[in-house]
Amino acid sequence: MMYYITFNGNCVGPMTASQVAAYKVNENTPVSVDGVNWSPLYNYPELMGMINGASNNAVDNKKLIAGICAIIVGTLGVQYFILDKPVAGVITILLSIVTCGLWGIVTLIQGIMMLMMTDEEFERKYVYSTSTFPIF
């Protein structure tokens, strides 16, 4: 079956279920099979299964790896490079140099908070955020 989705205000499609899962969609993303009749993605169990299986595992892995890296080597900004925020990684390195490593206390707290967050909070704060330098 082929699907259409509304992504960033544009109609995208037709595409397969695996192509839909490659987009940053959620259960409320408008989906259509004919391009005319739209309903939320949660009405399509085959799509929900694909996005839940793919995105949750990827987010869980990024959350775990970024959190541990923030705790262990946070002053090097590794957690931000993992989260595809290289500017924040460079800012972290500079702050670590300027503060003679004291910035490591902030990154230690950040790592603990990352690991304690729910997946939804983590996604909102670090994955889908447009913020250049998300700290807490």
Q: For residue 131, what are its two tokens? A: 């913020």
Q: What does the alpha-carbon distance between residue 107 and residue 113 come to, in Å, rounded to a whole number?
A: 10
Q: What does the alpha-carbon distance between residue 77 and residue 88 come to, in Å, rounded to a whole number?
A: 7
pLDDT at 56: 54
Single-letter amino acid, residue 128: Y
pLDDT at 54: 53
Single-letter amino acid, residue 6: T
pLDDT at 135: 84
Per-residue pLDDT of the chain (136 residues; tens, 9 = 90+): 889 998 888 888 888 888 888 888 888 889 999 888 899 988 888 887 777 655 556 667 889 999 999 999 999 999 999 998 999 999 999 999 999 999 999 999 999 999 999 888 888 888 878 888 988 7
What is the enclosing helix (H) or strand (E) of 86? helix 86-98
Rounded to 5 degrees, what angle do the CA atoms 126, 133, 136 make? 60
Single-letter amino acid, residue 38: W
The residues near 29 (Cβ < 8 Å, ≥ 6 apart) are: 5, 6, 7, 23, 40, 41
Q: How many CB atoms lie within 10 A of CB 86?
A: 12
pLDDT at 51: 73
**Cβ atoms of residues 5 and 23 within 8 Å:** yes
Domain ranges of the chain: 3-43, 56-127
